[in-house]
Structure 1
Amino acid sequence: MTNMSNNIYPRVHLTKSSGFTLIELVIVVVILGFLAATAIPKFLDLTEQAKQANIEGMAGGFATGVSLARAQWEAEARPNDGGTPRRNFVNYDGITVYLTVEDVPNNVRPGYILGTTPVSAIASVNCIEVWNAILQQPPTTSTNDLDVNSSVDYFVSKDGSNLCHYYLKASLARSTVDSTLYLDPSSSTTVGNSFTYEPANSSVIVYVNN
């Protein structure tokens, strides 16, 4: 009988892989380095654009909330508590919020939100009250937490001109002494991305520094 095994089964030729040559590895490393040098700046640029969009979006929503609270107060015939001193207020989305009272000598116009606590002078805690009262699902805020790893999204302060400052915490510079902390912006408009709110006239101004 004729042996048919050589005709039935194809021959398999094994070749030994030699892997990458040194030149090929060098070329790969150069290409990866080029891609990294190109991609990283673009990624960082997109990150900064996202931070700018974040602060601008929050400021827009904030300004809208301030205007809506004022409009509701006007629609309800400017309610006030009738006390001395008189305090303007309105029930905004189920929350009683207090509003500015006209003070011509100090250029204060009536009807702009001061917070949920009746006060004559606004403090940083009132700035947070305003934030929580007029925003839907507001991001977390703090007046003292600058920890890089905390869940706080916005740092809030009040300056001597009765302006509320709202900083996107991730846009602040890190401390050179302790890298786990962001630097306190000290109510400056030249650091980080932030916006200010002036209850006296409802002005909301965005500051983008990154």
Structure 2
Amino acid sequence: MNGHSHEHLNLWRHLDAAADAAATLAALVRFRVTDREPIFVLKIRQQYQLVDLLHTFAYNARRAIEIANDYNPGIRQHADFIKLTGFEETHVELGIGEDARPLAEKSLWWVLNRIVHSRELQVYKKEEAEVGHRGRIIMYQTPVVFAVRSDFDGSDVQHYAKFERLLEAFLALTEKFEETLAAAGFEVRLYK
């Protein structure tokens, strides 16, 4: 095992899986397509992928935090400190004729656990209109927020969070993960 403990290799495995899911999530939530393009029909498939990737990301991110916390105490506490909202951001506007959704003013750790134990997970897209060629209205849809209801919640409760903010919050732990892996003898820069 090259001097690396099984648990450190497990940490690396979960970090790698979380990073893979995060990279694909980032690409899908930044993908913007018009309703006039043939590939627009793929948006529903992408929505299913987003839900699957959120589960994969949340499970592996949570496991990585749990394992790293055994070697570098305080990482889990730090994950519970990092909030997914900030700078007076309390709602997200989704588009034309839509009510603003209240963002869950919760921590990374809290949201990861809600996703892992989710009973329902929905993707919401922001809709934007632009005037295109010859004055035609073009509609764009971009996934920006998800809603989660878990085993811990009542049947009418949903918690909303932005995809990108979830990923940014996890990436804020990069230095702590690198310290933990370096202490175990790994020479690694996670995302550089």
Q: What TM-score does the superposition give when structure 2 sets the normalisation length?
A: 0.30
Higher relative contact order (CA 8 A, sep 6+): 2
Q: Which has the larger radius of gyration?
A: 1
Task: Return the structure number with greater helix share.
Answer: 2
